[in-house]
Chains A and B, each alone.
Chain A
């Protein structure tokens, strides 16, 4: 991509997104949030942030679920504003970002269809970012075959479905395996699309997506211990990209316990640092009453993700900032909800377990 022409189409949006980035909650603000004693205090503190207008009309006993819903609304409003102002190729890039949410929504609707629920109620539960025009039509389909042949072929996800699943699979496979298969196809597709955009978007996004792929690989490995998921199936769910592809992935496909995972990850310098001091066993950390300093592997991954996303703001003239901003914003919402949960459940000792951004 020629950097001279970048600002013609993308300059305004990049300005917007960098402005949004400055609106993210900073460390002193987090300090204030964690000091709150009640949800009302928290609401008062949030009034100084970008969420103010979304929270001001909420009645006083603020539930964490409402808080989370309102914050997501704020996120969606900002994202949609960018989508509406985007021109090719940014609009396409932004669409790609939403496909991940679409997968979740479609999976939700398929689950509903499989259990013969009224799927209209489910539309409300869908993530607004993953909403696409033909999605309400999914509710019309009553069988999975219908769903596949009439609706999904027209959706942006059709390619992923066509590549990895047949209509029979939808009935037979575990819904989680479908979800992960789709997500794998999505990541690979997104990766190749980003590469086609040229530099510097390609290299920035490559970094982010490789990390995402590695994280999924490790998580799928860890979470499939002791389940009926066979090792071959496990290998099929790994995204075919990332720093660990293909060598470490083939090894990970065969491991049986945490220690082996650890020894494989230690060959990669960036993950070796992450693993230091991580208790790799969720059950042991729960029985030992995990103190605030003891973070799980997931927390480390979050921290690493935040760090990578922050780094992508260091470069200019690329689309990675949009993806990074969305990820950071999501992390911020998780942080706020976490702090709110800690306050409402009076578990103040764990309130600092969030992943600070700035």
Chain B
């Protein structure tokens, strides 16, 4: 793992971009972590609510089917009558969306039209029981709708939390180490280059010194020569001129060659 790094040229520009990326990854990581925590809190609350709703549902459904048994006791079978007289739904479910830290969770809301179509059902017998059964069943369906929206939220949140955690872990254990590896690689390469450069400069300096020393020596020697010549032939001024042209020639000749280490 430690060796994994991005395939980049170890340049200073890449170092800067990589460092920016590292910063971005760290910000993203902390943001995602906070999101996942918020979601988990919400998730726990929902799990608690689901438990309550499920327990409640058991009781409510039992009540409901028992009230239907009461109706059957008093009125007999009314199912066909009720089915046929139902023209439109009185109990409707509308879905809206709720935003929990960036996750859209559908929430179902029951809405009830109060106008009852079966109010005359069981007019001669058992109307009260029918109305009671109706009320109990409405309550049961409300509980079911509530449970449905909780259950949907549960599934969606579960998925999102898993996704977010996966991302958090990926950033923490894969992306950030890789970027860090890349940075240290670039740094080490750059250091290496620096050292080589430094060495090169030193070397050049050394060579230059050697050459300067050699030239000085030559100059000294020729100066000595010219003094001797001057004593023989003419004044110091003429000797100076000739030695200068001589030295200039040598340098010009030398400068043409490249220095190869």
Instruction: Report A's interface with B, CB cutoff 8 A.
Output: 64, 68, 108, 111-112, 114-115, 117, 122, 125, 174-177, 179-180, 183, 215-216, 219-220, 222-224, 226-229, 237, 282-283, 286, 296-298, 302, 334, 337-338, 341-342, 345-347, 350
Give 7 new A-B contacts, CB below 8 A, not counting A112-B84, A347-B62.
Answer: A68-B72, A108-B80, A115-B84, A176-B122, A179-B123, A220-B124, A223-B123
* Among candidates B65, B69, B73, B132, residue contacting A282 with C-beta atoms closer than 8 Å: B132
Q: Is the pair B85, A227 in contact by a Cβ cutoff of 8 Å?
A: no
* With known contacts A226-B119, A227-B120, A337-B73, A122–B80 Cβ distance under 8 A: yes
A-B contacts, 26 of them at CB < 8 A, read A111-B81, A114-B84, A115-B84, A117-B84, A125-B80, A177-B123, A179-B124, A219-B126, A222-B128, A223-B124, A224-B120, A226-B119, A229-B120, A237-B123, A282-B129, A282-B132, A283-B132, A283-B135, A286-B135, A286-B136, A296-B129, A298-B74, A338-B69, A338-B73, A341-B69, A347-B62
Asked if B165 CB lies within 8 Å of chain A CBs, one says no
Q: Is the pair B66, A347 in contact by a Cβ cutoff of 8 Å?
A: yes
> A346 vs B84: C-alpha distance in the bound complex, in angstroms?
31
* Among candidates A108, A114, A219, residue contacting B127 with C-beta atoms closer than 8 Å: A219
* With known contacts A176-B121, A282-B132, A286-B136, A222–B80 Cβ distance under 8 A: no
* With known contacts A108-B80, A111-B85, A282–B131 Cβ distance under 8 A: yes
Q: Which residues of B contact A117 (CB under 8 A)?
A: 84
Q: Is the pair A223, B127 in contact by a Cβ cutoff of 8 Å?
A: yes
Asked if B67 CB lies within 8 Å of chain A CBs, one says yes
Q: Is the pair B72, A175 in contact by a Cβ cutoff of 8 Å?
A: no
Q: Which residues of A contact B69 (CB under 8 A)?
A: 64, 338, 341-342, 345
Q: Which residues of B contact A122 (CB under 8 A)?
A: 80
In the complex, residue of chain A having the shortest beta-carbon distance to the beta carbon of B86: A115
> Number of residues in B with C-beta < 8 Å to the partner?
28
Q: Which residues of A contact B119 (CB under 8 A)?
A: 226-228
- The A interface, classified by DSSP as helix, strand, loop or mixed, is helix
Asked if B44 CB lies within 8 Å of chain A CBs, one says no
Q: Which residues of A contact B81 (CB under 8 A)?
A: 108, 111, 175
Q: Is the pair A176, B123 in contact by a Cβ cutoff of 8 Å?
A: yes
Separation in Å of the A208 CB from the closest CB of chain B? 16
The A-contacting residues of B in range 119-154, CB under 8 angstroms, are 119-129, 131-132, 135-136
> A283 vs B128: C-alpha distance in the bound complex, in angstroms?
8
> A220 vs B127: C-alpha distance in the bound complex, in angstroms?
8
Q: Which residues of B contact A183 (CB under 8 A)?
A: 124
- The B interface, classified by DSSP as helix, strand, loop or mixed, is helix
* Among candidates B85, B131, B136, residue contacting A175 with C-beta atoms closer than 8 Å: B85
Separation in Å of the B134 CB from the closest CB of chain A? 11
Closest 7 CB pairs of A and B: A223-B127, A282-B128, A341-B69, A176-B120, A227-B119, A111-B84, A338-B73
Separation in Å of the A120 CB from the closest CB of chain B? 14
Q: Which residues of B contact A220 (CB under 8 A)?
A: 123-124
> A54 vs B104: C-alpha distance in the bound complex, in angstroms?
58
The A-contacting residues of B in range 171-191, CB under 8 angstroms, are none
Scoring B120, B126, B131 by chain A CB atoms within 10 A of each residue's CB, the highest score goes to: B120
> A286 vs B133: C-alpha distance in the bound complex, in angstroms?
10
In the complex, residue of chain B having the shortest beta-carbon distance to the beta carbon of A174: B120
Separation in Å of the B92 CB from the closest CB of chain A? 22
In the complex, residue of chain A having the shortest beta-carbon distance to the beta carbon of B77: A125
Separation in Å of the B65 CB from the closest CB of chain A? 6
Q: Which residues of B contact A341 (CB under 8 A)?
A: 66, 69, 72-73
In the complex, residue of chain A having the shortest beta-carbon distance to the beta carbon of B115: A228
Q: Is the pair B124, A219 in contact by a Cβ cutoff of 8 Å?
A: yes
Q: Is the pair A286, B73 in contact by a Cβ cutoff of 8 Å?
A: no
Q: Which residues of B contact A114 (CB under 8 A)?
A: 84
Q: Which residues of B contact A227 (CB under 8 A)?
A: 119-120
> A108 vs B77: C-alpha distance in the bound complex, in angstroms?
11
Q: Which residues of A contact B77 (CB under 8 A)?
A: 125
Q: Is the pair B120, A177 in contact by a Cβ cutoff of 8 Å?
A: yes
Q: Which residues of B contact A219 (CB under 8 A)?
A: 123-127
> A298 vs B129: C-alpha distance in the bound complex, in angstroms?
9
Scoring B126, B127, B128 by chain A CB atoms within 10 A of each residue's CB, the highest score goes to: B128
Q: Which residues of A contact B123 (CB under 8 A)?
A: 176-177, 179-180, 219-220, 223-224, 229, 237
* Among candidates A111, A216, A228, A350, residue contacting B124 with C-beta atoms closer than 8 Å: A216
Q: Which residues of A contact B125 (CB under 8 A)?
A: 215-216, 219, 298
In the complex, residue of chain A having the shortest beta-carbon distance to the beta carbon of B74: A298
* Among candidates B74, B85, B132, residue contacting A286 with C-beta atoms closer than 8 Å: B132
Separation in Å of the B167 CB from the closest CB of chain A? 49
In the complex, residue of chain B having the shortest beta-carbon distance to the beta carbon of A334: B73
> A341 vs B73: C-alpha distance in the bound complex, in angstroms?
9
Q: Which residues of B contact A180 (CB under 8 A)?
A: 123-124
* Among candidates A286, A298, A337, residue contacting B126 with C-beta atoms closer than 8 Å: A298
Separation in Å of the B122 CB from the closest CB of chain A? 6
Scoring A177, A282, A302, A350 by chain B CB atoms within 10 A of each residue's CB, the highest score goes to: A282
Q: Which residues of A contact B120 (CB under 8 A)?
A: 174, 176-177, 223-224, 227, 229
> A334 vs B71: C-alpha distance in the bound complex, in angstroms?
11
Separation in Å of the A26 CB from the closest CB of chain B? 20
Separation in Å of the A251 CB from the closest CB of chain B? 19
In the complex, residue of chain A having the shortest beta-carbon distance to the beta carbon of B122: A223
Q: Which residues of B contact A222 (CB under 8 A)?
A: 127-128
> A227 vs B131: C-alpha distance in the bound complex, in angstroms?
12
In the complex, residue of chain B having the shortest beta-carbon distance to the beta carbon of A344: B69
> A117 vs B227: C-alpha distance in the bound complex, in angstroms?
140
> A213 vs B225: C-alpha distance in the bound complex, in angstroms?
159
> A224 vs B136: C-alpha distance in the bound complex, in angstroms?
20
